[in-house]
Amino acid sequence: MITAERKPLEELIEYVRPYKRILLVGCNECVTVCAAGGRKEVGLLASGLHMALLKSGSAIEIREHTLERQCDPEYVDELVSMIDGVDAIMSMACGCGVQELARRFKGKPVFPAVNTKFMGASERQGVWAERCQGCGDCLLGKTGGVCPIARCAKQLMNGPCGGSTGGHCEIGEDVDCAWALIWERLKELGQEERFVEIMPAKDWRPGGGSGPRKIIREDLAE
């Protein structure tokens, strides 16, 4: 999923301070799962903004709505009936959702309420960790299902480096060395020979190196 964290309330207050009526929009997908921008977080932020502004003597009306998916125009259309009389929109979705709202409602300022962080998985309740960088040329089949692009600080194709100690990366005790994980996994699979194969330098073009990316499925595209 795409993970995110709410921005500091102070920053959000400054965004909405000039306005009398805002629409706060959550998303039922990734940001709900990582507890950053779902229906509950929309309620919490609306209350927090309302109280913080009330304290400083200004009143604001906050309409709340959470879309099934904020990065799809079909769902964003739901907001059309709520947009009248609203001075600005604040989105609790990832950057994709924020941009979709800005594209759809050209006359309204749109502000992000969260910082979009990374594509990750849940390690345990309340903990999410980076797992994928969308490099566009997945090599997990060669590395025992552990990604050296997302999980090695140096993105080494042939690791580990000299900074790997006791299974940890030199950048921090709490960071696993991706190449140590790859070695352990290949051993479990009985595929140790893969470890000595030299992988060529990575082509970064499919990973965004040649500009913003797009997927066109000709059978589906209209």
Q: Quick check: 40 binds other proteins (CB under 8 A)?
A: yes
Q: Which stretch binds other proteins (CB under 8 A): 41-49, 90-98, 129-137, 147-155?
A: 41-49
Q: Quick check: 48 binds other proteins (CB under 8 A)?
A: yes
Beta pairing partners, 114: 6
Instruction: Say if residues 165 and 144 touch (Cβ distance below 8 Å).
Output: no
In angstroms, the CA 202 to CA 148 distance is: 11
Q: Which stretch binds other proteins (CB under 8 A): 6-14, 66-74, 164-172, 185-193?
A: 6-14
Strands 2-6 and 114-124: antiparallel
Q: Which stretch binds other proteins (CB under 8 A): 5-13, 72-80, 156-164, 209-217?
A: 5-13
Q: Which stretch binds other proteins (CB under 8 A): 2-10, 108-116, 134-142, 152-160?
A: 2-10
At a CB cut-off of 8 Å and minimum separation 6, what does 58 contact?
A: 17
Least distance to other proteins, CB of residue 53, Å: 9
In angstroms, the CA 54 to CA 60 distance is: 8
Binding to other proteins, residues 119-158 (CB under 8 A): none
Q: Quick check: 20 binds other proteins (CB under 8 A)?
A: no
Of the pair 40, 187, the CB lying nearest other proteins is at: 40
DSSP state of 79: G
Q: Quick check: 166 binds other proteins (CB under 8 A)?
A: no
How many chain residues are in contact with other proteins, going by CB under 8 A?
Answer: 14
In angstroms, the CA 129 to CA 145 distance is: 15
* Tokens, residue 119: 């594509």
- CA distances to 152, 156, 157, 194 from 189, in Å: 21, 22, 20, 10
- Binding residue for other proteins, selected from 18, 21, 51, 191, defined by CB under 8 A: 51
Least distance to other proteins, CB of residue 213, Å: 37
In angstroms, the CA 41 to CA 45 distance is: 6
- Binding residue for other proteins, selected from 18, 20, 21, 44, defined by CB under 8 A: 44
Q: Provide the angle, in degrees to the nearest 10, between the axes of the packed helices 9-16 and 39-55.
A: 70
Q: Quick check: 199 binds other proteins (CB under 8 A)?
A: no
Of the pair 25, 147, the CB lying nearest other proteins is at: 25
Binding site for other proteins (CB under 8 A): 8-10, 40, 43-44, 47-48, 50-52, 54-55, 57
